[in-house]
Amino acid sequence: MAHEYLHNVVTLKLDQDKCIGCGRCVEVCPHRVFRLNDRKADIVQHQKCMECGACALNCPVEVISVRSGVGCAYAVLKGKSQGTGPDCGCCG
């Protein structure tokens, strides 16, 4: 069973024109959001992005942008209450 979270809130963007087709984003994405077509990356499952940021950090030409962070309510609440931004305390 494939889980899916909220649609239309995800911040992932790709500037396809500047993509050099290295395939790193396809390799790192744990939700198979990208596919390589004609030596260009394509976002094929935008709604599945969990904003982990792996693709953006590993794109050698920096054509992917995403507001990355942990999708963890506890972290968001903790960050808000301490004014530090989302910080995960759940996992240590």
Partner 1 sequence: MMENACPENEHPCRTRKVQATWTWRDHLGAWKMRWGFGRNRYRVQPGLYAMGLPSPEDPVLVTANYKLTFDVLRRSLAGQNLWILVLNTHGINVWCAAGKKTFGTDELVKRIRKHHLGQVVTHKTIIFPQLGAPGISAHEVQKQTEFRVTYGPVRASDIQAFLANEMKANEQMRTVTFTLRERLAVVPVELVQALRYFLPIAIPVVLLSLLGGINLSIATALAMLPFLGAILTGTILFPILLPVIPLRSFAAGGWLLGILYAGGLALFIHAGGWLAATLLLILPPLVSFIALNFTGATTFTSLSGVEFELKRAVPMMVASAVLGVIAYTGQLILGG
Residues that bind partner 1 (CB under 8 A): 1, 3-7, 9-11, 24, 27-32, 48-54, 57-58, 60, 67-77, 86, 88, 90-92
CA angle at 25 for the pair 56 and 61, rounded to the nearest 5°: 55
Residue pair 34/28 in contact (Cβ under 8 Å)? The answer is no
Closest approach of ligand SF4 to the CB of residue 92, in Å: 21
Residue 1 CB, nearest distance to ligand SF4 (Å)? 18
- Provide φ and ψ at 48, rounded to 5°: -90, -5
Interface ranges with ligand SF4 (CB under 6 A): 12, 14, 19-25, 28-29, 31, 33, 41, 49-55, 59, 61, 63-64, 66
Nearer to partner 1, 9 or 38 (CB): 9
Distances (CA, A) of 51 to 19, 37, 82, 88: 19, 22, 22, 15
